[in-house]
């Protein structure tokens, strides 16, 4: 079945350094939609980015990601981490059109001064 | 205002008690979800509902059941709660299936402790 892998469970970065959170996925369907959600403590998880177009960069709030279907990847990046980026980040996949969303286990990002 | 509302936000129950978690949305979304979130395990899908009385098991349905009698309302029921059901539960909803795979909109969660 469909699945999402986020290799890093915990990432700690110094403010100002680049961010890269890994996401790979598996699906037997060709119409993969990939998403990044951000979850701040005591808030709702909310959509950060989404894409279904191969090799096209998508950006929002300083973060960007490019869906690469050849490598089944959708890594989240940011050029310079800020303290306010500390949160839990989820990568998610939807590919069947029946609205079944599969989330990865999440990566907890902590940015330190 | 597009919103998913969960009630209650915090709940403490004793093992063996029944638990009812409620979720509402004001957007006429067809699809609704229940997830639980545990450290290191991420968001795990318990049940998905495609519309009124059209529910499907997710990845971890054991110990849970759901009810959807109105499109805007989706309930999660724990009959005889167990301590390992202590978790944060999130409800979410999204637009029609197949419509550009709209991303789910999440509620603020219910923190359940089963003692």
How confident is the model at residue A93, as a pLDDT?
92
Domain boundaries, position B84: 4-114
**Confidence (pLDDT) at A31:** 81
Q: In whole numbers, what is the pLDDT of chain A averaged over residues?
A: 92
- Taking CA–CA distances from B90, the nearest residue in chain A reads A44
pLDDT at residue A47 tops 60:
yes
User: DSSP code of A73?
Assistant: B
Confidence of residue A40 (pLDDT cuts 50, 70, 90): very high
Cβ-Cβ contacts under 8 Å, B94 against chain A: 99
Residues in chain A: 113
Residue ranges per structural domain of chain A: 3-112
First-to-last CA distance in chain A? 41
Return the structure tokens found at B1: 């205002």
Topology (CATH) of A3-112: Immunoglobulin-like (2.60.40)
Substitution target in B24, B101, B105, B107 with the highest count of A β-carbons within 10 Å is B101
Question: Percent of chain B having pLDDT more than 90?
Answer: 77
Q: Is the peptide bond before B8 cis (omega within 30 degrees of 0)?
A: yes
User: Which CATH number is B109's domain given?
Assistant: 2.60.40.10
Confidence of residue B96 (pLDDT cuts 50, 70, 90): low
Q: For residue B106, which residues of chain A lie inside 8 Å, CB to CB?
A: 44-46
Contact check, Cβ <8 Å, A99/B42 = no
Contact B1, B102 (CB under 8 A): no
Give the number of domains in chain B.
Answer: 1
Q: CA–CA separation, B44 vs B16, rounded Å?
A: 23
Q: Which residue, A108, A111, A105, A110, is CA-closest to A4?
A: A105
Q: Which residues of B touch A100 (CB under 8 A)?
A: 45, 48
In tens, the pLDDT along B9-65 reads 999 999 999 999 999 999 888 889 999 999 888 899 999 999 999 999 998 999 999
Are residues A98 and B4, on separate chains, in Cβ contact within 8 Å? no
């Amino acid at each position: 079945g469909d699945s999402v892998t986020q290799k890093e469970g915990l990432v700690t970065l110094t403010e100002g350094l680049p961010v890269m959170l890994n996401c790979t996925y598996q699906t037997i369907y060709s119409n993969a939609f990939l998403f990044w959600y951000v979850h701040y403590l005591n808030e709702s998880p909310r959509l950060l980015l989404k894409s279904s177009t191969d090799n096209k960069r998508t950006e929002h709030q300083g973060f960007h990601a490019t869906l690469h279907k050849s490598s089944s990847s959708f890594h989240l990046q940011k050029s310079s981490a800020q303290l306010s980026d500390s949160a839990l980040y989820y990568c998610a996949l939807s590919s069947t059109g029946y609205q079944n969303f599969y989330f990865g286990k999440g990566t907890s990002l902590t940015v330190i001064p | 205002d597009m919103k998913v509302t969960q009630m209650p936000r915090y709940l403490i129950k004793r093992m063996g008690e029944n638990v009812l978690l409620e979720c509402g949305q004001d957007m006429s979304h067809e699809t609704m979800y229940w997830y639980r979130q545990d450290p290191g395990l991420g968001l795990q899908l318990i049940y998905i509902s495609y519309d009124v009385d059209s529910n499907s098991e997710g990845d971890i349905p054991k110990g849970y059941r759901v009810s959807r009698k109105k499109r805007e309302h989706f309930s999660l029921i724990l009959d005889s709660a167990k301590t390992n059901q202590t978790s944060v539960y999130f409800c979410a909803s999204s637009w029609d299936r197949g419509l550009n795979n709209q991303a789910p909109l999440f509620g603020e969660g219910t923190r359940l402790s089963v003692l």
